[in-house]
Amino acid sequence: MIWYGIFDFAQMGPPPNAPNANAANRPPDAAAQFLGCKAADCPDQARAASAVAHVDANDPPMLLIHGGADRVVPVKQSQLFYDALKAKGVKAELLVIPGADHSFIGKTPETTRAASNQALKKTLEFIDMILGGKK
């Protein structure tokens, strides 16, 4: 299970909805922080560090969960990884929680709680299915 993961540093780009006017307010570039360089400046390193580059048919089943309104890691990251897993025949599920930001933060405490509970419930169901042999 992976919640709101970064799977392809080369396609990460700046944080979604990042303020453009003032660099001081802009969230940090996750790829640059992890890689020590901007992905465009070190493409080989970015590719080698990206999980999407290492997907193969022997990978274990995966559950990806992402907030549909994530402003830190684009939901496109989970979609790219899900597509790569499916293309290799890996059992994979993708749950996008509408309106949830990073860490499943909603617009209200109630929507945050609902999104978090949905993610936890799906995670536990997935564990039960994989470890318990349920289909």
User: Domain boundaries in the chain?
Assistant: 2-9+26-132
Q: What is the pTM of this model?
A: 0.84
Q: Mind listing the pLDDT tens digit for each residue in 34-74?
A: 888 888 889 999 999 999 999 999 999 999 999 999 988 99
Distance CA 135, CA 122 (A): 14
Is the per-residue pLDDT at 3 higher than 90?
Answer: yes
Is the per-residue pLDDT at 22 higher than 60?
Answer: no
DSSP 89: T
Class of domain 2-9+26-132: alpha beta
The tally of CA atoms less than 13 A away on the side-chain side of residue 38 is: 5
Is the per-residue pLDDT at 108 higher than 90?
Answer: yes
pLDDT of residue 21: 44
| Strands laid side by side in the 92-97 sheet | 2-3, 62-67, 92-97
